[in-house]
Chain A
Amino acid sequence: MATWDVFHADRLEVVRGLSTASVREALAQDELRDDDLIRPAGTTVPWARIADFPDLMEPESLPASSLVRTEEFTSEPRTDSRDRDLAPQEDDIESLEIIDDTMEEFASDFALGSAEFGHDDLQLDDDESLLALPVADPDSPEQVPELEEEFDPQDEDEEAAEFTLSRGGPERVEELDLAAMVDVAFQLVLFFLVTATTVLYKSLEVPKPNPDSPAAAAAQGRSRTLDDLKDDYILVEIDAAGAMKIDREPVAGEMNAVVERLRSARESTKRRAMLLTADFVTPHRNAVLAYDAANEIGLGIAIARPSAPDTSKAPAPPAAKKAATPQ
């Protein structure tokens, strides 16, 4: 007789060792519900819902061994119990036949109900005794009723292990959640990206100004008037407020305008360099604008050093080297 463990989901209680008949009875009395779980007694197969076992609801005889059951369970798709009742399928009929055959074997071997017991039956070690229960003889395994051609205990174990009350379908492989790993990998990449990148500071390369102060340079007699210088350089003047003049013509203090003027000045007179003459207090940003414009069109840069406001000397001559032309 197949015994079952039953798990009552409402009471959260396990009842062990119920026979099939008692299970059916409990179902009929509504003590057991479709949602409750069931498994073969004493095994550790996963619990299965009773609703998936319509066979328990129907009054058919079950085989003593679970070996035959295996085929039936794993080939069943997960269906509603109602559907199965409508159309008995071929599989069921075959298994029913197998069940009937095995029951016949049992009946023929151990028909105790109708036989008459004689005195000889009390000799329990005699094979002919009807009272003696079959004992599994380790020496002769063929004495055990055979359900299949060769009965191997190992097979039974393996098949019992394969036996599963799960809903069928392919074996589910344990899935590894990769999302976390991917996140950590991206974190690492970001971290190294940000820290390993060399930080580049943007700068303008400018020629070294004349180390001498304007006064000293003037004393050495190297000063030239701005008009003389105009022949060699494009003259860029910036006053204290930041207003720019290119070749004595005012120009808007805006990048594009300056660039245009410088370009046209270079085209017309073939001068290769710009001379920047700015007042001492001119804001630095205007000077940077002039440098930037010169770099844009590849003009050489010469810087005239203005004298400090407290002196009254003329601006020093451009002793600065020319910056390298186009980068």
Chain B
Amino acid sequence: MLLRRQVNEERDEHIDMTPMVDVVFQLMTFMLFSVQMTGGEKVDIPPARHGVGVEESTATFLTLLKPEGPDAEPRVLIGNGEGTPASLDQIRRAVAEGVKAGRRKVVLQADGAVPHGEVLKLASAVTELEGVTLHIGVQEPQP
């Protein structure tokens, strides 16, 4: 009879793996969604304490990449950290389309090392169009 008791006790101790697998999948899904939301990491946006929030659907994003060398041509991407390098004309057209679609804001996501003059050059080119508000993209200051 003692033996039977031992057998009974052993049977109760199997750990069920299903909840652990479920939790792992949950975490994975959560991470997947939350990381995508922060956008690309191609540019090192300068930090700022104050800023206004801009909804993604209300603005056209232009990304200014870090220049490769001291005298290299600046590269501008249409989109937030993604897209192909574009010329000034393409940029103007994209912004114009955005304005027609209701996106009246233009956000310049410029890397911290981009020359200030280049940023202003792009800004002035963009603001030739009517009804466009200019924003400079910033991020939360890291502590």
Chain A residues near B (Cβ < 8 Å): 9-10, 33-35, 183, 187, 190-191, 194-195, 198-212, 238, 255, 278-289, 291-292, 295-296, 303, 305-309, 327
Contacts and interface: CB of A to CB of B under 8 A. Distances in A.
Contacts of B110: 284
Contacts, number: 158
A288 B136 contact: yes
A283 to B, nearest CB: 5
B40 interface: no
B68 interface: no
Interface of B: 1, 4, 19, 22, 26, 29-30, 33-34, 37, 39, 46-57, 59, 61, 64, 80, 107, 110-121, 123-125, 127-128, 132-140
A291 B47 CA distance: 11
Contacts of A284: 46, 64, 110-116, 119
Given A284-B114, A284-B116, A292-B50, A204 B136 contact: yes
Nearest to A33: B1
- List the 8 shortest-distance A-B pairs measured between CB atoms, nearest first: A280-B117, A285-B112, A203-B135, A200-B53, A285-B46, A208-B127, A295-B50, A292-B48
B127 A204 contact: no
15 contacts: A9-B4, A187-B26, A191-B33, A198-B55, A198-B56, A198-B57, A203-B138, A206-B123, A208-B123, A281-B115, A284-B64, A284-B110, A284-B111, A291-B48, A295-B50
A319 B61 CA distance: 25
B22 A203 contact: no
B135 A206 contact: yes
Contacts of B19: 183
A289 B140 CA distance: 13
A177 to B, nearest CB: 11
B34 A201 contact: no
B120 A201 contact: no
B96 to A, nearest CB: 15
Contacts of A191: 29, 33
Contact of B52 (A303, A308, A327): A327
A306 B120 CA distance: 9
B80 to A, nearest CB: 8
Given A205-B133, A211-B124, A327 B116 contact: no
A280 B50 CA distance: 24
A292 B49 contact: yes
A33 B4 CA distance: 12
Nearest to A198: B55
B127 A201 contact: no
Nearest to B33: A194
Nearest to A194: B33
Contacts of B139: 202
Nearest to A197: B37
Given A195-B33, A201-B54, A296-B50, 17 more contacts: A33-B1, A34-B1, A200-B54, A200-B55, A201-B53, A202-B140, A203-B52, A208-B127, A209-B124, A209-B127, A280-B115, A284-B114, A288-B47, A289-B46, A289-B48, A291-B136, A306-B120
Contacts of A198: 55-57
Contacts of B120: 209, 303, 305-306
B135 to A, nearest CB: 4
Contacts of B119: 284, 287
B134 A296 contact: no
Nearest to A238: B116
A307 B115 CA distance: 12
A262 B126 CA distance: 30
A297 B52 CA distance: 15
B77 to A, nearest CB: 15
**B46, B112, B125 — most chain A CB neighbours (10 Å):** B46
A190 B30 contact: yes
A285 B110 CA distance: 9
Contacts of B1: 33-35
Contacts of A309: 117
**A10, A199, A296, A306 — most chain B CB neighbours (10 Å):** A199
Contacts of B53: 200-203
Contacts of B56: 198-201
